[in-house]
A and B are shown apart, each in its own frame.
Chain A
Amino acid sequence: MDRIARINMGAAGGPTVTFEEVGEYAGLGGRALTSLLIAREVHPLCHPLGNENKLVIAPGMLSGTTGSMTGRLSVGCKSPLTGTIKESNAGGQAAQVMARIGYAAVILEGKPEGDDLYKIIINKDGIKIEVDNSLKLMDNYPLVEKLRQEYGDKVAYITIGSGGERQLLAASIACTDPELRPTRHCGRGGVGAVMGSKRVKAIILDDAGMKMRAPKDPEKFRDANRKFVEGLRKHPVTGEGLPAYGTNVLTNVLNEAGGYPTYNFKQGQFAGAAKLSGEAQAELEIKRGGSATHGCHRGCVIQCSGIYNDKDGHYITKQPEYETVWSHGGNCGIDDLDTVARLDFMDDNIGLDTIEMGVTIGVAMDAGLIPFGDREGAIRLLDEVGKGTPLGRVLGCGAEITGKVFGVEKVPVVKGQAMPAYDPRPIQGIGVTYATTTQGADHTAGYAIATNILKVGGDVDPLKTEGQVELSRNLQIATAAIDSTGMCLFIAFAIMDQPETFQALLDMLGAFYGITMTGDDVVALGKKVLSAERDFNARAGFTKAHDRLPRFFYTEPIAPHNQVFSVPDEEMDQLFNW
């Protein structure tokens, strides 16, 4: 991983490739690399779908090694959905393969004239860019099937469906899983539209002839990885809860807590929640011959995913995640897992962010396009997006635009991005993160719960109610750091509770790069990334006035706790003061 490839899609006479040493980005990966590069090289006032924007694709620091959980792929750009800097990441095989071929980043620059569609083939011999107009407007599943006939099964595919090609603002970038299904998506922020604007339909990554990346100290690395895996296996969340039920294990708990937004954020509890729960989902998956335990890439030991079949045992989709089951399910008043699974498949196939689309359909229901709870109606609306009808194009541009077009007053977005599955009124701390993150409303921006281990910002009194801003700051720093390692964020549970597992992670990084890493180094990296992102956003015109939730969260209480969001603006404005 010592090279960066720049592909200028807009070069006169057709796309060109240049290679350069990784240079000052050496030792960086994932979000650190994408955000620092975008902040430095992209004009903050550029149009996100214009030729000045860049799409940076970067594996994590340990991707392509024998280390466990190292398969996250980050993509970065200026987001067409939010107008801010964006990092969106996904699992799947792509990060491992790209890292083994030797690239710390592949950067798509410029924008071609004309209507040709391209595919990019990356292997040990270099990079080829070919026009392939036979792929036009294909969706992800048939697209990957077609590519497999030509490039086979020993490669990884990064693709966009018709959503990305149409430059819809909710469009995602798909990465194939070990079974070569396009199920793992860099979902948030419309990154698929940026790839579509560059007219790149598919990237084929072939690591034939390449070896695993070798650590500087192989023995120490192996030993640290073993301890890291042991830690993950023995922890009740990473060793039991996630493998058995996946992230959807949260439905029952959030609903019980009254923090499960329902009917477009009007109530905090949903009567049909138990039918959508991870427990019900796992039972059904096993009964139908699918699986409730599955890894999105090789080398994942947590295996939070699964396979969801129909009642006749035929594959519908991968196990929908908690946020998807919520957005298409409870948020829309739909209590049927089969409907959610169909919608999840459609999102993956068209290439759309499941959170954005579920929230958008909730807004459309609020507008009266279809009633809440209308299963077939929800499928029909998503079908419009797949067909690219005028209505579909509006919906495919997300909740904020749909709300504006249909005159809906309460649209749950921050900086144009739909809020995920946790209501910020009863869970005030997450509201602080939604409002202030550099990425638009995003639950994962403050997901790395291991702040106590990292000792980011010192200890916070757990029962002090004023601790929200401080906690959110610490969480955002820790998350930026983990996103940069390329490790799956779900490792955070084990490293929070087990100092020896956190130490094992540091030792893996240290043994690989031949350095000594401490918790302080990780914190410093997190801060550096956030500072660069904030600076980009400031230059793009974002001020503290944008670090707010929509007004209705401050004025309309939500049952059952009947709370409004009440963290003072002045406190939130202190979040990035370090």
Chain B
Amino acid sequence: MNATRQTRLTLTLPSSLIGDFFPILQQGFFVTAHVGCTLQRLLCRQWDISPDYVATRITTIFLNAKATDNVETAVVRDGATIALSGAMPGLVGATMRRGGHLAAMRGAMTYHETPADAVDRIGTVRVKLFNILLPELGPAFLGRGILVSCDDLASFFRERDESFWKSCDGGILDNMQVSAGRLRAEPFCREGTVRLTVNFR
């Protein structure tokens, strides 16, 4: 993720439009975070998700594409990808479940913590939210702000339909008011990343 040139865009939208952001939230977005800590610390201390919610709702977690059983020992390093999901159906869904009795079915897919250096620093991680966690955790991530590429945001606006534009009355682009018409009509950045913040009312 190129962080050299960062545009900031803030939107305020009705909560009924949260579904429009699901493709971005599933595909993965970047956030700035304090890395070098355990997953549990990142989820609960930095992202303010309650330990109870982590234990009961976030039943499947992938750290760098590997199913993770123990959030208290798995360490998040700079550039990591974290995918969070609710309970999944199917044999494979049950196999991926954290600490489930079918974990042995996974083979190579299980995350094992390594003693490799995990530097305590500010970094960037990629987050993906799936299924029931989309409406439950999505608004908080969007409210804190996520990093998306200019290209991805441009295609996001291109793909919106009339119902979105009817409810969008523009936003604030780099401290300046910007109309919905302009967001719709032209790409407002050509390269780099956008820090997108969405407040739902």
Question: Which residues of chain A have a CB within 8 Å of any CB of chain B?
Answer: 236-237, 240-242, 244-245, 247, 249-250, 252-254, 256-259, 269, 274-275, 277-280, 283, 304, 322, 422, 425-430, 433, 443, 446-447, 449, 451-452, 459-468, 471-472, 475, 490, 493, 496, 560-561, 563, 566
Contact = CB atoms under 8 A, between A and B. Distances in A.
- Which of B22, B104, B105: most chain A Cβ within 10 A? B105
Interface of B: 19, 22-23, 26-27, 57, 59-60, 62, 65-67, 69, 83, 85-96, 99-110, 128, 130-132, 134
A277 B62 contact: no
A471 B102 contact: yes
Contact of B65 (A252, A257, A428, A496): A257
B26 A279 contact: yes
Contacts of A241: 86-89, 131-132
A561 B106 CA distance: 11
12 contacts: A237-B87, A237-B89, A253-B130, A278-B131, A425-B107, A428-B108, A429-B106, A443-B91, A459-B101, A490-B89, A493-B89, A560-B65
Contacts of B96: 253, 257
A459 B100 CA distance: 12
Given A236-B87, A426-B106, A244 B132 contact: yes
B93 A422 contact: no
A451 B103 CA distance: 13
Contact of A464 (B69, B89, B104): B104
Nearest to B99: A462
Contacts of A459: 101
A274 B95 contact: no
B60 A253 contact: yes
A449 B88 CA distance: 12
A-B interface, 7 closest residue pairs, ranked by CB to CB distance from nearest: A429-B105, A428-B107, A467-B104, A449-B94, A462-B103, A563-B108, A236-B87
Contacts of B93: 237, 250, 253
A253 B105 contact: no
A314 B86 CA distance: 32
A566 to B, nearest CB: 8
Contacts of B69: 463
A237 B60 CA distance: 12
A430 B94 CA distance: 12
A453 to B, nearest CB: 10
B104 A447 contact: no
Contacts of A560: 65
Given A278-B131, A563-B107, A429 B87 contact: no
A493 B87 contact: yes
Most chain A CB within 10 A, of B23, B85, B88, B132, is at B88
Given A427-B107, A468-B104, A249 B89 contact: yes
A507 B134 CA distance: 37
Contacts of B83: 252-253, 256
A462 B104 contact: yes
Nearest to A461: B104
A305 B63 CA distance: 31
Contacts of A451: 101-102
Contact of B105 (A240, A245, A258, A468): A468
A463 B104 contact: yes
